[in-house]
Amino acid sequence: MLGLERGLVKLEPYNDKWSKLFDEERELLSSQLKELIIAIEHVGSTSIEGTFAKPIIDIAIGVSSLDRVIKIGEKVKGIGYFEVPVNIDGKHVFAKSKENKITHFLHIITYNQNLWRDQIYFRDYLRSFPDSKLEYVKLKEELAKKYPNDVISYTNEKKKFVDSILKKAKKL
């Protein structure tokens, strides 16, 4: 099943359908945004086979410049997305929901800048190193139990682990 109520933390085992759902959304987004984007990538835990994840598809959209966000926002709102206020320089986020559940997040980021590369490095590292992936799954399960109604604390508590993986990934 896809979707989670805003603010909640509930993990599900990896589902092969997540990849197919990403492919479908990528096709839709590509058809709407083709002249505005450089790349679209499936990121986050739903993109890593064998992990547990919140059942929300995270999509990174690489753009040449963040001044493209206004045009992208206009287009994605037409296909069901709304802007999410995020306080991270260099990143804009849009979400799509169905039946009051968030199903997709779009992370609009300047292509090949640090935030873009971090998304890709983290995903690829966990895909390549099963021990680190297992460690991440265990941490996420502990945090989901600790913060079932507090996605902000859940995310903040993962930061130290994420930073350690990025440090390792950048050395490869």
- Map residue 50 onto helix, strand or coil: coil
Q: Residue 64 has what pLDDT?
A: 94
Beta carbons of 172 and 126 less than 8 angstroms apart: no
pLDDT tens for 14-65 read 999 999 999 999 999 999 998 999 999 999 999 999 999 999 999 999 999 9
Cβ neighbours, 10 Å, residue 96: 20
Token duo for residue 92? 């804009």
For the record, the structure tokens of 32 come out as 């709407």
**Would you say 21 and 164 are in contact if contact means Cβ atoms under 8 Å apart?**
no
Q: Tell me, yes or no, if the pTM score tops 0.85.
A: yes
Give the domains, in start order, of the chain with CATH numbers. Answer: 12-171 (3.30.460.10)
Phi, psi of 136 (to 5 degrees): -65, -45
